[in-house]
Chains A and B, each alone.
Chain A
Amino acid sequence: MTNTDWHAPPDLLARFAHNPAALDDMTAASVEAHLVVCADCRGQMTAAASPALVTASWDAIADRIDQPRPALLERVLHRIGVGRGLGRLLAATPALQGAGLLAICVLAAGAVVLSLTADAEGPFLVLAPLVPLAAVAASFAPAADPAGEAGVATPMHGAGLVIRRAIAVVGINFGVLGAAALALPDLGPAAAAWVLPALALALGTLALGAWMRVEVAVAVLSSAWLLGVSSVWWLAGRDIPLADSATFSVTGQVTALAAAVAAATIAAARRDHFATLEAFR
């Protein structure tokens, strides 16, 4: 930078230092432009400013620099009204980060491809409920929280956070699976028959996770689901399409809803379990 022959009057510099907004726009812009090229005036202005003002200015600059860049999901959550803090906590859930979201999309696409290959909704209806099951499990698995054990000892940790994360995970999973279902051969009401079983299995993970390792809970529930669907279809004579079996009928949907309510009730009753490290076994 170079110095100039003209210098701003000291009282003008002092007024600019203490409150630039008190000057008219033209004068403030002129002083600012001059300060860029005049080291003497910058020095005078610094001397005129109170140390508290200089410290506050540096603090404000440091705060702006230090502000972590929000992740894409965090920005989306903020757009839809989720607070910045909660958005950060939700966006840090492994099942909602890049690799987790990619896994959900790949699994959903795989289920659609199987259905298109078979020219029937059956494979999608059977596999789709397993996707949120795995994602919910991953949201409170041992490595789920970026703060690890230190995070467990904080007031925000506990059932409230687990449930919020589960809602976010289920919501995004349902969005992806719903979009994937649009590619199914028949877009009738039966194409949505995966929703309630998926909800029941996701809530079942939370409920069973209060008694056993989350990986075991996933294995138990996914095995039970696959065994149950196969058995119902087998007992019906195997000559009907899978999508027409009782599992995806009104009776099956009511059963899934009842299971979801029961699982939610159990998870709520055992909510204290999620407050400690025991839930992270």
Chain B
Amino acid sequence: MTSSISTVTVTGLRKRFGATVALDGIDAAFTPGVNGLLGPNGAGKTTMLRILATVLPADDGRLEVLGDDPSTGGGRLTVRRRLGYLPQEPGFHRHFSGFEFVDYVAILKEWADRKPRHDEVRRVLTLVGLEAVMHKRIGQLSGGMRRRVGIAQALLGRPDLLVLDEPTAGLDPEQRLRFRELLGTEASGATVLLSTHQTDDVAALCQHVVVLLAGQIRFTGTPTELAALASGRVWLAGERDPGADLAWITGEGRVRHIGEPPTGAQLVEPTVEDGYLILAGRDAHANSEALAS
């Protein structure tokens, strides 16, 4: 955690869906900069981001977002005026063009005057590299392009708080790099909360990372501190140790082990992914392999 003043704090946050506990007493604080939420599917990341983005009420707990309480009508309105939100599934109107969709969201964001609104719509669509296809119907765009339309609408008006649920899902490596650059310039000074399954995104982007498992926070700190959890526990060997809990073949054809050292193995520097796997264990590894495939 940095020494900056927290712009988003949650205390005792709880949310249930029927018998399922999505968030089980979350305490967290986020500061300006990029904050990453890591966790396997069903860990509660999307629920937490939805609550912070004011689209879902919490069952219990206290929230303070940009100095306001979003559980009240006035607080929610104030937060929404300073918020950009990319949902996991934006639910595009397929008959709209990218321009029409972002323009529509801009109207919902109270951009009443047409000329400055259209200028802003063009600006954000250009930022995400869609200037050449902004008048194509969304239904004709690729999945990656649709994701970028979603990112563009979230950037409208340079919000103070950006809540991005899996922003890099569906983006190719070049687009992911462009997105990282974009956040560096466009979200400078803002508080960014993003969830991702990509641990390399966390390493490249985030100053602060939170690991959520089964609705509870299991780690909070910097990516370096997350990687350090696996310090002295990551090994490269020629063959898989039959007793290993977490082991997989790397691109170089060697077997990366996390945990006890296999015979003749070489100790290596841990990554953010190693630290995350130490926390999340086999389920997260299986999950990340399924996502990668």
Contact = CB atoms under 8 A, between A and B. Distances in A.
Interface of A: 59, 62-63, 66-68, 83-85, 88-89, 92, 143, 146-157, 272, 275-278
Tell me whether chain A's interface is mostly helix, strand or loop, or mixed: helix
Nearest to A161: B108
A149 B122 contact: no
A150 B90 contact: yes
B104 A148 contact: no
A149 B86 CA distance: 8
Contact of A63 (B81, B83, B118, B150): B118
Given A150-B87, A153-B85, A278 B103 contact: no
A156 B118 CA distance: 18
A11 B90 CA distance: 55
Interface of B: 50, 53-57, 73, 76-77, 80-81, 83, 85-87, 89-93, 96-97, 99-101, 103-105, 107-112, 114-115, 118-119, 121-122, 134-135, 150, 153-154, 163
Contact of A147 (B56, B57, B93): B93
Given A146-B104, A150-B154, A154-B109, A272 B81 contact: no
B107 A153 contact: no
A3 to B, nearest CB: 33
A276 B93 contact: no
A84 B115 CA distance: 12
A150 B108 CA distance: 10
Given A83-B112, A275-B76, A278-B56, 8 more contacts: A63-B118, A68-B100, A88-B104, A92-B93, A147-B153, A150-B154, A153-B85, A154-B105
Q: What 10 A-B pairs have minimum CB-CB distances, sorted nearest first?
A: A148-B91, A146-B93, A154-B108, A149-B87, A153-B85, A156-B108, A152-B55, A155-B80, A85-B107, A277-B55
A92 B122 contact: no
A156 B56 CA distance: 16
B86 A150 contact: yes
Contact of B108 (A66, A84, A155): A155
Given A59-B119, A83-B112, A88-B107, A153 B55 contact: yes
Contacts of A148: 87, 89-93
Contact of A156 (B54, B109, B119, B163): B109
B123 to A, nearest CB: 11
A89 B104 CA distance: 8
B90 A92 contact: no
A155 B77 contact: yes
20 contacts: A68-B99, A146-B93, A146-B104, A148-B92, A148-B93, A150-B105, A150-B153, A151-B104, A151-B105, A152-B55, A155-B108, A155-B110, A156-B108, A157-B80, A275-B76, A276-B57, A277-B55, A277-B56, A278-B56, A278-B57
Contacts of A149: 50, 55, 85, 87, 89-91
A92 B104 contact: yes
Contacts of B54: 153, 275-276
A93 B76 CA distance: 24
Given A66-B118, A156-B107, A275-B76, A146 B96 contact: yes
A147 B138 CA distance: 12
Contacts of A157: 80, 108
A13 to B, nearest CB: 28
Contacts of A68: 97, 99-100, 103
Contacts of A276: 54-57
Given A89-B107, A156-B110, A67 B118 contact: yes
A152 B56 CA distance: 9
Nearest to B51: A276
A70 to B, nearest CB: 11
B8 to A, nearest CB: 14
B12 to A, nearest CB: 20
A66 B135 contact: yes
Contacts of B134: 66
Contact of A150 (B56, B73, B76, B85): B85
Contacts of B87: 148-150, 153
